Amino acid sequence: EPEVTQTPSHQVTQMGQEVILRCVPISNHLYFYWYRQILGQKVEFLVSFYNNEISEKSEIFDDQFSVERPDGSNFTLKIRSTKLEDSAMYFCASSDPGSSYEQYFGPGTRLTVT
Amino acid sequence: AQSVTQLGSHVSVSEGALVLLRCNYSSSVPPYLFWYVQYPNQGLQLLLKYTSAATLVKGINGFEAEFKKSETSFHLTKPSAHMSDAAEYFCAVSDTGGGNKLTFGTGTQLKVEL
């Protein structure tokens, strides 16, 4: 069964460093998303991406964040200068055009900022 | 703005007993509603979804949910709990239409006891 994959599973970085979280969505999907879950809190929407551009973003997704689809398979989330409060589990999701309301989630990347 | 409220951050049931996890939503437009399950150290797996068809929705692992517009509810039930059902359950809402973000509730941790 096709699945969304994410790398790395765990990333530790120092405050102020740049990090790139990687995702490989399901191959025929066209909508891509990033969500995050701070420990003990609910899952929060960050950004959605369609047709090579951001379709919606939340207040959390400020200038420190960016997304990119550098090739036909990867979807990345970059945090330019990490803060302690960026420590969270980051989930990538994708959905297909025929069933675009059903999002499939990856296993997540746990980001720890020290 | 859409929102979801999950009553009860922790629910404990005996194996074989009825599972009832509560979800109420707020939406200015007809919503799509979802239940996701998260096992420890894993991503989010879709249990079931309501997309304006039948109001009683059946999902995987014996779970079902009923959309009640008059009560703005979408409670998740399972007639007989199994130890393997122990996990965190998230209710989510999105606008109708493609590619829209999910807004999650705070989650309910289900514990199943012998």
Q: Which residues pair with A47 in a beta bridge?
A: A34, A57
Read off the tokens for A76.
Answer: 């990345």
Distance (Å, whole) CA B98 – CA A106: 20
Distance (Å, whole) CA B88 – CA B98: 26
Encode burial over A92-109: b for 16+ CB neighbours within 10 A, e otherwise: bbbbbeeebbbbbbbbbb
Contact B99 A100 (CB under 8 A): yes
Instruction: Choose the closest CB to A56 out of B45, B90, B101.
Output: B101
Q: How distant is the Cα of A65 from the closest Cα of chain B, in angstroms?
A: 17
pLDDT grade, residue B102 (50/70/90)?
very high
On whether any CB of chain B is under 8 Å from the CB of A96, the answer is no
**What would the pLDDT profile of B23-70 be if each residue is shown by its tens digit?**
999 987 778 999 999 998 788 999 999 987 789 999 999 999 999 999
**Which chain A residues are within 8 Å of B90, Cβ to Cβ?**
42-43
Which letter does DSSP use for residue B74 in this model?
A: E
| Three-point CA angle B48, B52, B54, nearest 5° | 70
Ramachandran class of B71: left when φ > 0, alpha when ψ lies in -120 to 50, beta otherwise? alpha
Of the candidates A90, A87, A109, A86, the residue with the CA atom closest to the CA atom of residue A9: A109
**Which chain B residues are within 8 Å of A42, Cβ to Cβ?**
90, 104-107
Contact B106 A42 (CB under 8 A): yes
A1 CB-contact burial (10 Å; exposed 0-12 / middle 13-18 / buried 19+) = exposed
Q: What is the mean pLDDT of chain B?
A: 92
Of the candidates B14, B27, B15, the residue with the CA atom closest to the CA atom of residue B105: B27
pLDDT grade, residue B99 (50/70/90)?
low
pLDDT grade, residue A84 (50/70/90)?
very high
Per cent of chain B over pLDDT 90 is 77
Give the pLDDT of residue B41. 77
Of the candidates A58, A90, B100, the residue with the CA atom closest to the CA atom of residue A78: A90
Give the pLDDT of residue B1. 75
Q: Which residue of A has its CA nearest to B98?
A: A100
pLDDT grade, residue B97 (50/70/90)?
low
pLDDT grade, residue B96 (50/70/90)?
low
Give the pLDDT of residue B30. 79
Q: Is the pLDDT of residue A100 over 60?
A: no
Query: Which among B10, B44, B48, B50 is the top mutation candidate for probing chain A, defined by the most A β-carbons within 10 Å of its own β-carbon?
Result: B44
Q: Is the pLDDT of residue A16 over 90?
A: yes
The string of DSSP codes covering A3-55 is --EEE-SEEEE-TT--EEEEEE--TT--EEEEEEE-TTS-EEEEEEEETTEEE
**What would the pLDDT profile of A28-39 be if each residue is shown by its tens digit?**
898 999 999 999
Q: Which residue of A has its CA nearest to B108?
A: A42
Read off the tokens for B29.
Answer: 């437009």
Encode burial over A71-85: b for 16+ CB neighbours within 10 A, e otherwise: eeeebebebeebeee
Sequence-ordered list of residues with C-beta below 8 angstroms from that of A36, at least 6 positions apart, any chain: A43, A44, A46, A60, A88, A89, A90, A91
